[in-house]
Structure 1
Amino acid sequence: MRSHRPAHRPRTRYRIRSLGAAAGTAAATAVLVLGPAATAEAAPVAPTATASAPGGNALLLGIDYAAWKRDVAAVMAPARPYVEQRLAQSPAGEKPAIVLDIDNSSLETDFHWFWTVPTPAIAEVRDLTQYADAHGVAVFFVTARPGIIASLTERNLKQVGYPVSGLYVRDLPDLFQEVSAYKAAKRAEIEARGYTIIANIGNNQSDLVGGHAERTFKLPDYNGKLS
């Protein structure tokens, strides 16, 4: 009786290249490159994802996906009624706008492995922007992501259903500013274009401080664990 041994299959190694701004200032974006690579560049084995934690940095940090989703829903619950009421009171000729951060504020960045393309939307936030867009509200994104990935970021947002009136990313001069100052300055730019920012949504204080918004909605970051 002959034994059957499985045929040898060549293994594919992965190299990870990260794109990002200075440490602590922007969410890093990774590009997956298939092909042979040196052993030193081999990707580490990722923990097994579960239904309550799809994967990504949040899983490594022990942040439960289901709990995060509940916390997000609680923050966003009053957002739609507020926008509805605010628009009902909008004076003639006003140009209302909403400003959003991206990572863990519009997209579930830290809850998915970097090879998940496109990064899924946060449903409650996306639904609000779709309602706002349908009622004449401009939707702007102000992110600390570097300008080199601006086109990839905009494509991701549109692929998962976000209306995009404008996207502000950090170019070289912006890297010398504090994130909070950079974001406040971009909101001021939007106001200078004649818009009234009726809501600003983000998950870090740096997304929200500095004024230039009538109301803010802060999503959870668990003491800075989420980017």
Structure 2
Amino acid sequence: MPRWNTRIVGIAATLALAGGAVYGAGVATADGTAQDRTATQEPQNIADLVTQIDRYYAGTKNADGTWTASADSPYAHDVHRVQKAARKHLAEAGKKGARHGKKPAVVLDVDDTMLLTYDYEKATNFTYGTKTFTDYVSKADRGPVFGMPELVNYARSKGVEVFFLTGSAEDVRAPFAKNLAKVGVKTPLDRTHLFLKDKVNPPAYLKEACGSGAAWKCDGGQYKAATRKYIESRGFDLVANIGDQDSDFTGGYADRTFKLPNPMYKVS
């Protein structure tokens, strides 16, 4: 899936770092002892990282083998802190109404901003695969990131238009829309409000900014920035941008950003 071509899994990245470093290696001296020339600090153990992530999400394994994060986990509490600030900001933006003829709007990422992938990460041992992820999201059965459906519905009730912007591919549009509705999102989920990446047949604004097919030149951050620019060109003022990756915010076109926690992977 195009969104994940530059996806760096947190656990796998640590493993690669451990594999690429040489600890205590060197050349033998005349008396046969090793002379250390490359000693470095050993990275944190992979098993310890997984344990920390499980504690952060307070994950439990269900009878059917799936994993569930706890609504009372440290992760959930961190999410709620971000939501509290975002809710206040969106309420103020809605109260101010249109500025310079532009209606206030918020744009949100989907994966681990609206829909949680903790179960997928556990099932795949934090290793992404295009087919496994497509199969997973196609079930349209992911649970929500705690409190996020309520936040977007609240924004809508205050007069703030809601847009969703994901780097996942166009071919999973239907299950994405179905899953968002399933977790309680009551804002529009049509093509003018839910944006997915189509590198083969991109809309005109993306083709101009990013190219198409083999000539596609945008990374995830550039693709999202070009889409936010397009949304604003339609007469909206993006008062907020909410995501779980730093790349969700690069390139501007939002008055304020709100980052949700995600220690499981990194997307560039």
Q: In the alignment, is the contact (CA less than 8 A) between 2:94 and 2:159 conserved in 1?
A: no
- SS of the aligned residue for 1:98 comes to strand
State the alpha-carbon separation in 1 of the partners of residues 171 and 141 from structure 2. Answer: 17
- Aligned partner of 1:134 in structure 2 is 157
Amino acid at match of 2:147: E
Match of 1:211 among 252, 262, 266: 252
Find the partner of 1:164 among 188, 191, 194: 188
Alpha carbons of 1:167 and 1:74: their partners in 2 closer, same or farther (altered >3 Å)? same
Which TM-score applies when normalising by structure 1?
Answer: 0.69
Matched, 1:52 2:58: yes
Counterpart-to-counterpart distance in 1, 2:143 and 2:70:
17
1:26–1:145 contact (8 Å) kept in structure 2: no
Q: Which has the higher helix share?
A: 2
**Does the 8 Å contact 1:132/1:138 carry over to 2?**
yes
Report the CA distance between 1:151 and its aligned residue. 1.4
Q: With CA pairs under 8 Å and 6+ residues apart, which has the higher RCO, 1 or 2?
A: 2
Partner-residue secondary structure (3-state), 2:106: strand
CA separation of 1:169 and 1:91: change in aligned 2, threshold 3 A: closer
The answer as to 2:237 corresponding to 1:196 is yes
Given that 1:97 and 1:140 are in contact with CA atoms closer than 8 Å, whether structure 2 keeps it comes out as yes
CA–CA distance in structure 1, aligned partners of residues 232 and 90 of structure 2: 18
**Gaps (5+ residues) in structure 2?**
9-53, 63-68, 124-135, 200-211
1:77 maps onto 2:84 in alignment: yes
Aligned residues: 181
**2:118 is the counterpart of 1:107:** no
Q: Could you tell me how far apart the structure 2 residues matched to 1:54 and 1:117 are?
A: 21
Residue in structure 2 matched with residue 97 of structure 1 by the alignment: 105
Q: Distance in 2 between matches of 1:82 and 1:21?
A: 32
Q: CA RMSD in A?
A: 3.2
Residues 28-67 of structure 1, C-alpha deviation per residue, up to 9 Å, x if partnerless?
Answer: xxxxxxxxxxxxxxxxxxxxx99931569xxxxxx98822
> What's the counterpart of residue 3 of structure 1?
none
- Cα deviation for residue 94 of structure 1 reads 3.5
Q: Which amino acid aligns with 2:117?
A: T
2:145 paired with 1:118: no
TM-score by length of 2: 0.59
Residue 75 (structure 2) pairs with residue 68 (structure 1): yes
Gaps of 5+ in 1: 1-19, 28-48, 57-62
In structure 2, the partner of 1:31 is: none
Match of 1:39 in 2: none
Identity %: 31
The secondary structure found in structure 1 opposite 2:147 is helix
How many angstroms apart in 2 are the aligned matches of 1:208 and 1:133? Answer: 22
Change (3 A) 1:22 1:143: closer
Task: Give the drift of 1:97.
Answer: 0.9
Cα distance between partner residues in 2 of 1:176 and 1:64? 39
